[in-house]
Amino acid sequence: MRNMEKLNNLVLDLGGNAWNLVLVLAIFLGVFYGIRTKFIQIRLFPEALRLVKNRAKEGKDEKGVSSFQALCITLGGCIGTGNVAGVAMAIVVGGPGAVFWMWLIAILGMVTSFMENTLAQVYKVQEGEVYRGGPSYYMEKGLGKRWLGILYAFSMIVSLGFALAALQSNTISLSVGQALGIPALLTSILVAVLIALVIFGGVRRIAKVAERGVPIMTLVYFALALLVLIVNIQKVPEMFALIFSRAFDFKAVGGAAIGTVIYQGLKRGVFSNGAGQGDAPTAGASAEVSHPAKQGLFGVFSVFIDTILVCTLTAFVIIISGVHEYSDRVGIELSQLAFSSSLGKWAGVVLMLCIFMFCFTSIMSNYYCGESCLAFMAKGMKGRNTYRIIFVTAIFLGGITGVDLMWNIADLFCAIIVILNMISLIFLGKKAIKVADDYIRQKKEGKDPVFCSKGIKGLEGAECWGRER
């Protein structure tokens, strides 16, 4: 028991130090590339909205999934425990002011997401009937560092491919248990069986489930959160005052220093939206688009939906209900209490259904990221069924076991993959900017941008884009 406690403390300390570096890199990349691209995440945000709106018009190629399906896989991975449980934790520890810093890191993270999603498209490869890509691939083909790609892929499999996926299962068990009183064992068996049915069907089945489930669950969650705000409309001005005043309050919450407020907001923002983590570009690389920058703009939109909308609504509900001030509950249970206290017990049940779908689609996305990393390491799909069996087993065990060590392991390896990816983006950023400039040039000429890497210096490794389309 003592050895496990020592291991847990060691992992916790290592993770804490690693996340300090993550936050420095996240701020640096967001500011640096924001300036270099003239804040492309803001300038081209209307274009991102247009692309999402017209999603049905492209992406029908048999070699990939549509951009919208890839976006739904991405959002399925982003919108999960971090948006509901993570935001609650940030407010408990850092107070309402943490929300302001969560917004800031989201705005900075949008440009990081644009860069990584664009590069993932540039350096994607075709394997059979599907495309694969992501940080591992652009580390190998863009930087010429396969060993770095393997290190990233291994860390991704440990963090998202197992630990975080198991945590999502645990969140489902807790939520269902609190709302309906169903034992964790039964819930875990159900989740494991459902996940097995989906992942053994391959990426296209994952895409179809995500395409149908993500928009519905997001809209239901929006409606529920907005209803809480309407019921408590008189408290909204006070809520905004709390967020902005406590963001710079040196005694922001329970004696917590302003550094704690900033740290919690920034960390939960990065953890939730995943900008720089690499899971979004891993999913986005599977899309068939006419220009890599289009998928980059889908990445911008995914961060907006994840943090500016979903995380913000969660934070509003918790702050406006005031449950963080008197309840000893944390994480998912605090979020459920916040909804129930404003709307009644029925809201807790509806929220439980939303959480189930959030976490279920996150598990699917986590699996796909792990599978893609395995394909990179093994140069093909050797061991895929073995990975699937181990993954489903981890989902079952995650739903019935304690989570402290699991959280800390996930935290540590998530920090590692973010650090590796962000360092790669520092060196590859110029190439992404060239692609963005090509997109903007074609738009100014009145064209629907179509990309060809031929003639663009430094993009010789872009094997899927070397010919005119």
Give the alpha-carbon dihedral of 89, 92, 98, 100, to 10 degrees.
Answer: 90
- Specify whether domain 14-444 bears CATH 3.30.2130.10: no
d(CA 450, CA 465): 10
Tell me: the pLDDT tens digits for 390-408?
A: 999 999 988 887 666 777 7
Please state, in angstroms and as integers, the Cα–Cα distance from residue 415 to each residue in 27, 113, 274, following that order.
Answer: 14, 16, 11
Is the Cβ–Cβ distance between 414 and 271 less than 8 Å? yes
Query: Per residue in 362-376, pLDDT tens?
Result: 888 888 888 888 888
What's the rounded Cα separation, in Å, for the pair 84 and 450? 39
User: What is the predicted pLDDT for the residue at 35?
Assistant: 94
Q: Under a CB-based contact definition with an 8 Å cutoff, are residues 97 and 247 in contact?
A: yes
- What's the rounded Cα separation, in Å, for the pair 417 and 431? 21
pLDDT digits (tens, 9 = 90+) for 13-49: 888 888 888 888 989 999 999 999 999 999 999 999 8
For residue range 150-207, what is the model confidence (pLDDT) as tens digits? 999 999 998 888 888 888 888 888 888 877 888 889 999 999 998 998 888 766 667 6
pLDDT tens digits, residue range 321-335?
Answer: 877 766 566 677 778
pTM: 0.86
Name the token pair of 152. Answer: 């990233």
Q: How far is CA 195 from the centre of its chain?
A: 19
Name the β-bridge partners of 256. 253
Inter-residue contact 298 to 112 (CB < 8 Å): no
Summarised one tens digit per residue, pLDDT across range 413-427 is 888 999 999 999 999
Which of 163, 180, 174 has the alpha carbon at shortest distance from 334? Answer: 174
pLDDT at 428 over 90: yes
Q: CA-CA distance, 323 to 318, in Å (whole number)?
A: 6
Q: What sign for the dihedral angle of Cα 418, 420, 426, 429?
A: negative
Instruction: Evaluate if residue 383 carries a pLDDT over 80.
Output: no
Question: Does residue 119 register a pLDDT over 90?
Answer: yes
pLDDT number for residue 407: 72
| Contact predicate 171/355, CB 8 Å | yes
Strand partners, 130: 127
Q: So what's the pLDDT on residue 444?
A: 92
Domain assignments of the chain as residue spans, ordered by start: 14-444
Q: What value does the CA radius of gyration of the chain take, rounded to a whole number of Å? A: 21
Q: For residue 442, give both structure tokens.
A: 């074609």
